[in-house]
Amino acid sequence: MTDDSWGPGPQTRRAAKPRASTIAEVARRARVSPATVSRVMNGRFVGDPEVAERVRRAAAELNYSPSPLARSLALGETRTIAFVVPDIGNPTFQAMLSGLSKSAAADGYRVLVADSTEDPEEEAVLAVETRRACDGLVLCAPRMSDERLHALLPVLRPVLLINRGGARFDAPSLSVDYGLGIQHLADHLYGLGHRHFVYLEGPAPSSSNQARVEGLSAFASRTGDVQIDRIPAGSASADGYRSGEAVRASGATAVLAYNDLVAVGLMSALAEMGVDVPRDIAVAGFDDIPLVRYVTPRLTTVSVPYEPLGTEAWKRLHALIKGETPSHDLVFQPRLQPRDSTAAPPVRVTIED
């Protein structure tokens, strides 16, 4: 028995990978300096065309290609942007990322993603750290305070804000009219006959949660005959599930959840308690994530065009990176999507003596 029987024979051994050529070798063959090679390869050479052709020919003969890192350092750009979000597990942020990354890729850019896990302090640190490693930043639904955001904006530029815009910040922004969206839902429930509502609140630092609260306040003032109880919840399905007992104890006939995930978690808890949706209590969500069209009952919600929002975000950030003036700010309008989870309130039977 030979040693070859214990492993691959000589005929199966792979040839050694050829060593990559260096910029110095290209420079020697083309009889120019390495700096000239760098300028030619990066499209920044303005000298004799014959010299540029000699460099390209030498690079082709040596099978040379500049490293992405070296090119980034030479050009002062990374062709990368960052997307900082409070929770990448949320399907709405995933939809934004889809629109952003597809549009950026079409222009030759990659997207880094950083998740702050709903922590305002971590969010500020992540924003600064990721900005150092890329050409621009999309700061999505930031949870940090106005004061902290104001202080960081000069460090983060070029930066685009999502769901935290307005005249108080010196940065382009895109946002959703959450106040109007929740009023669409409340009006829908009011039209069905509901007068006692519960609102399952989102994260306390969230400006979109505050916009929903203000929208419900405007709705209550406009109608004049409703009761709206507010129950702290969160933004995840588990938060909605944990709210089940409090919702049942409230005596409300309709629930407005901060988002679809919270609504789905609540409906699961109510089903386990024997509470029928929508016969015993109506439930509405917010966002229209794909899941809610397939749960039972199908969830009433408002639809928000999050993927197009991501596309618009890239258009504006790309303009900033190129030193151009971005298009004007946009406010996206949610659209009511009534489905099976809402119906008229149960009839209260009173027995007279």
For residue 22, what pLDDT is reported? 83
pLDDT at 264 over 90: yes
Cβ atoms within 10 A of the Cβ of 112, count? 14
For residue 38, what pLDDT is reported? 78
pLDDT at 349 over 70: no
Label residue 68 by pLDDT band (50, 70, 90): low
Rounded average pLDDT over 71-93: 83
Distance CA 240, CA 275 (A): 15
| Domain 178-305 in the same topology as domain 19-75 | no
User: What CATH architecture applies to the domain 19-75?
Assistant: Orthogonal Bundle (1.10)
Tokens 């749960």 sit at which residue?
Answer: 295
Query: Which of 337, 312, 308, 307 is CA-nearest to residue 92?
Result: 307
**Domain coordinates in residue numbering, the chain:** 19-75, 80-176+306-333, 178-305
pLDDT at 3 over 70: no
Q: Above pLDDT 90, what percent of the chain? A: 74
pLDDT at 11 over 50: no
pTM above 0.85, yes or no: no
Q: Identify whether the C-beta of residue 258 lies closer than 8 Å to the C-beta of residue 231.
A: no
Contacts of 36 (CB under 8 A, 6+ apart): 27, 30, 45, 47, 51, 55
| Residue range 117-148, pLDDT digits in tens | 999 999 999 999 999 899 999 999 999 999 99
| Residue range 165-183, pLDDT digits in tens | 777 788 999 999 999 999 9
For residue 47, what pLDDT is reported? 82
CATH number belonging to the domain at 178-305, selected among 3.30.70.2740, 3.30.70.60, 3.30.413.10, 3.40.50.2300 = 3.40.50.2300
Question: Is domain 80-176+306-333 in CATH 3.40.50.2300, yes or no?
Answer: yes
For residue 185, what pLDDT is reported? 98
Rounded average pLDDT over 314-340: 96
Distance CA 118, CA 141 (A): 10
pLDDT at 149 over 80: yes
For residue 260, what pLDDT is reported? 98
Torsion angle of C-alpha atoms 265, 289, 118, 164, degrees rounded to 10:
-140
Label residue 67 by pLDDT band (50, 70, 90): low
How far the first Cα of the chain sits from its last, in Å, is 105
For residue 285, what pLDDT is reported? 98
Query: Which of 256, 304, 307, 306 is CA-nearest to residue 281?
Result: 256
Q: What angle is formed at CA 69 by the lines to CA 68 and CA 71, rounded to 5 degrees?
A: 65
Q: Identify whether the C-beta of residue 339 lies closer than 8 Å to the C-beta of residue 298.
A: yes
For residue 136, what pLDDT is reported? 95
The more confident residue out of 36 and 81 is 81
Rounded average pLDDT over 57-79: 70
